[in-house]
Amino acid sequence: MDVIKVSSPARIINVCSGSYAAVKKIRLDDYNFDKRKYSWFKAYSETKLYNVMFTLDLATRLKNSNVTVNTFTPGFTLTNLGQSLRSMRLITKLRSRKAASPSDAAKIAIYFATSQEMEGVSGKYFMKMDMKETTEIAQDKKLQKELWNLSEKLTKVI
């Protein structure tokens, strides 16, 4: 983080998924699904929510620096993610005509990382190129702090 700060102006761009909005309640005490039935979609959606929460919290932590932090979802993108799951293969087949290519998704990230229009914009969530409000759970400052603390504990950063 010190290197990023001294290299400022700098931008941090996190990629997430709109599926984060499907999460109505998180279980930071059970992030590995040890105490509840595993669901690939719940697990995926929760991790994407964590991406959004992390982004919002980091933007707050870097508020007085010249480092911006944002997150975006490129929308449904034609990748190999989840292709071992029959349900994902079916979804991909049904949505492949409307899906973005990986290079189209990358162009969005490059825009956020380099465009003058994004200068000074921080703590925002975008769906493709459109700024959107995040869910209430993503904006919960107490949960953001709990997630940050858990991340430090799990990565042994203190």
Higher pLDDT, 84 or 16: 16
What's the count of helices (H) and strands (E) in the chain, helices before strands?
Answer: 6, 4
pLDDT given at position 51: 96
Alpha-carbon dihedral of residues 117, 123, 68, 29, nearest 10 degrees? -150
The rounded percent of the chain whose pLDDT value lies above 90 is 65
Q: What does the alpha-carbon distance between residue 135 and residue 115 come to, in Å, rounded to a whole number?
A: 26
Q: What are the structural domains, with CATH classification, of the chain?
A: 2-155 (3.40.50.720)
20 included as an active-site residue: no
Instruction: Write out pLDDT tens, residues 94-150.
Output: 455 566 677 788 888 999 999 999 999 999 999 988 999 999 999 999 999 999 999
pLDDT given at position 158: 57
The residue type found at 96 is S
pLDDT given at position 69: 97
Q: What does the alpha-carbon distance between residue 30 and residue 132 come to, in Å, rounded to a whole number?
A: 29
Catalytic pick from 44, 50, 111, 125?
44
pLDDT given at position 80: 55
Would you say 144 and 57 are in contact if contact means Cβ atoms under 8 Å apart? Answer: yes
Instruction: Write out pLDDT tens, residues 29-49.
Output: 999 999 999 998 899 999 999
Q: Contacts from 41-46 at CB under 8 Å and sequence distance 24+?
A: 44/17, 44/19, 44/82, 45/17, 45/19, 45/20
Which among 153, 118, 123 has a CA at the least distance from the CA of 138? 123
Six token digits for residue 88: 């994902």
